[in-house]
Amino acid sequence: MESSITREFGSVTLGERIHILGTALRLPFIFTWSLATKPFVSHNAKKHWKRVVIDTAFQTLLSTLNRVQLQYIFSDPAQLIVEKWGKKAGVPIEVEEIGEDAKLIWIGKKRTERVVFYLHGGAFLMPLQASSLGFWDYIQRELKRRGQDVTFVILQYS
């Protein structure tokens, strides 16, 4: 159900693009160090290695790049991220235009009896992350298993 989606991001200079490339080239070394020291770092010791890599990536990018560079890299809007995830996970997605460049993105069948309204945050820098969708899918399945059928909806805003 791909609909028309626009990508909006800041305009980056050549110097900023080179800085992004330099950061990307350093990431494998940073990941290797994080994984090698994982057993000895208390906040990483019990984490799965994939989570350590994801956390390290975000920590590095957020501490190294400026706002415009982050917007340039993470330019996919929530709708596109949810639609890709929904297709892969076999979960139907419904998009509802609500005006003023905002949309409600329903995960699963749209129902309004019980709704979890998820505001993903990101401080107008970072879009919704696909990893959070897996978490909310798990929560939705667990609630259903306990007899509480809920629908999740995400607000996409500009």
Which amino acid, one-letter code, is at 71? Q
Per the listing, tokens 């990307």 go with 24
Q: Which residues contact 122 (CB under 8 A, 6 or more apart)?
A: 128
**pLDDT averaged over consecutive 10-residue blocks of the chain (158 residues)?**
51 91 96 95 92 91 89 81 90 88 86 86 74 87 90 84
* Residue 27 · residue 64 · CB < 8 Å: no
Alpha-helical segments (H) within the chain = 14-37, 49-64, 67-73, 78-89, 130-145
- pTM, entire model: 0.67
pLDDT given at position 24: 95
Which amino acid, one-letter code, is at 30? I
Q: Which residues contact 143 (CB under 8 A, 6 or more apart)?
A: 149, 150
